[in-house]
Amino acid sequence: MQILKFITAGSVDDGKSTLIGRLLYDSKAVSHDILHTLERQSKNKQGNEIDLSLLTDGLRAEREQGITIDVAYKYFNTPRRKFIIADAPGHVQYTRNMVTGASNADLAIILIDARQGVVEQTHRHSLVAALMGIPHLAVAVNKMDLVGYDEQTFYRIAADYQKLVQSLRIPEVTFIPVSALAGDNIVDKSPNMPWYTGKTLLDHLETVEVSENNAAEEARFQVQYVIRPGTDELHDYRGYAGSLRSGHLAVGDKIRVLPVDIVSTVKAIEYNQQEVLEAGPLQPIVLHLEDDIDISRGDTFVKIGETAPATTQDIELDLCWMSERALQTGDRYLLRHNSTTVKAIVREIYHRTDVHTFEQHPTDTLKLNDIARVRLRTSKPLVFDAYQHNRNTGGLILINENTFDTVAAGMLLPVHPEEAPAAEFAI
């Protein structure tokens, strides 16, 4: 059964947690013991109403403040599809949490309060969704019950959001009028909005076309561990363990090892401790090569005959800054790209994106939640694809060398063809 990973995002009090709770409750995905617990914990109950937001607001601080702080993950399934939900916080200071939840999402639900319309956080979350390459957006105009289920209010908000779509070049957007609290158009069609003839939210989630993985077809395998048991029984065993980030590899394929640029042939493939003839995207495998090569953690295998990834020390990327400590030119960080970790220095900050207008403003520093385009120099060549081409090989994070805190998430940009790979240097 196919899995759909999606994230909900919106401004504070737009009803994200209630919407997810309603989705779980109305689709019969909540067990009886959890329902009993919710009945006891629900606050401000009117009649026998249950506070459905408690299904996702799991931290004590969240329940006390009535807001979402952490990214809450929930899992449920229907007869048609399995789902993984990430409920992202709405506060500005928690935008970095949305980046975490959006990093591998297939779809984003952007909630808009029908009374408020498009606001700053709508801009910010839509920009993050576009940068993270989420292929599908569903705009849920929530709290329609509080505006009398007014048709014109819904279409006015949809028209306002279309302006964002044009600015951000978002490929696909679906608009759905809902009331999470009342259950309108979440799982069942709402009798209160006969003017809306589209799908309910759940029906849309069940039927939206999603590829098995948001990656390109070219084979990309990055070494995570070099396995050398060194026992008498496995004296000559040398395997390279890792995940096939995209594409397919088969026994007999000619491969190139980057960045060392050595050619070899796939001798054997192990999956789940069994030899197989071929491996597909995102499978954890162990590869064996015909040649005895000096290969290290982080080296990348690519199939000869397919488009090669970029290999360079000078990289450009869109960066979501997540630290309260400002970023400045000349700062040094650890850069982690899947299983590769190298040192990096900030060479240039090109511009910061204004979340209100999406205009680009020159700057020499970045603050918490800023989104900008920067240039980095790494201590060793990085092997990657542009994020928009391959999300599994085009993303990275920056780490503070002293505290080991994650301070930024980055989406790599294409390398210009005229740029030659740079030689190694120490940072």
Q: What is the pLDDT of residues 153-170, one digit of tens each?
A: 999 999 999 988 888 878
Model confidence pLDDT, tens digit, residues 157-205: 999 999 888 888 787 899 999 999 899 999 999 999 999 999 999 999 9
* Tens digit of each residue's pLDDT (9 = 90 or more) over 356-391: 788 899 999 999 889 999 999 999 999 999 998 999
Instruction: Give the architecture (CATH level 2) of 310-412.
Output: Beta Barrel (2.40)
Query: Does the structure show a pLDDT above 60 at 215?
Result: no
* Residues above pLDDT 70, as percent of the chain: 84
Diameter of the chain measured on Cα atoms: 77
Of residues 348, 60, 82, 35, the one with CA closest to residue 210: 82
Work out the pLDDT band at 67, boundaries 50, 70, 90: very low
Residue whose token pair is 């709290």: 143
Residue 246 has pLDDT above 90, yes or no: yes
- The answer to whether 170 and 129 are in contact (CB under 8 A) is yes
Structure tokens at 322: 């997540």
**pLDDT the model gives residue 210:** 79
- Position 33 scores a pLDDT of 60
The pLDDT of 54-73, averaged and rounded, is 49
Q: What is the CATH number of domain 220-303?
A: 2.40.30.10
Q: Is the per-residue pLDDT at 64 higher than 60?
A: no
- pTM of the entire structure? 0.82
Q: How far apart are CA 395 and CA 102, in angstroms?
A: 12
Calculate the CA 214 to chain-centre distance: 10
In this predicted model, what pLDDT tens digit does every residue of 258-271 receive, in sequence order?
999 999 999 999 99
Name which residue leads in pLDDT, 425 or 332: 332
Q: What is the pLDDT of residue 51?
A: 65
CA distance 65 to 396: 33
Please state, rounded to an integer, the average pLDDT across all residues of the chain.
85
- Kindly give, in sequence order, each residue whose CB lies less than 8 Å from that of residue 335, ignoring residues fewer than 6 positions away: 341, 342, 343, 344, 376, 378, 382, 396, 397, 398, 399
In the chain, where the domains are located = 3-207, 220-303, 310-412
Q: For residue 89, what pLDDT is reported?
A: 62
SS3 of the chain: helix, strand, coil, percent, to 5:
20, 35, 45
Q: Which CATH class is domain 3-207?
A: alpha beta
Does 310-412 match 220-303 at the fold level?
yes
Provide CB contacts within 8 A for 37, sequence distance 6+.
Answer: none
Q: pLDDT above 90 covers what percent of the chain? A: 58
Closest by Cα among 118, 157, 138 to 200? 138
Digit-coded pLDDT (tens) for 281-314: 989 999 999 998 889 999 999 999 999 999 999 9
pLDDT digits (tens, 9 = 90+) for 333-347: 999 999 999 999 999
- Among 37-46, 224-233, 407-416, the range with the most confident prediction by mean pLDDT is 407-416
Task: Measure the CA–CA gap between 287 and 285, rounded to whole angstroms.
Answer: 6
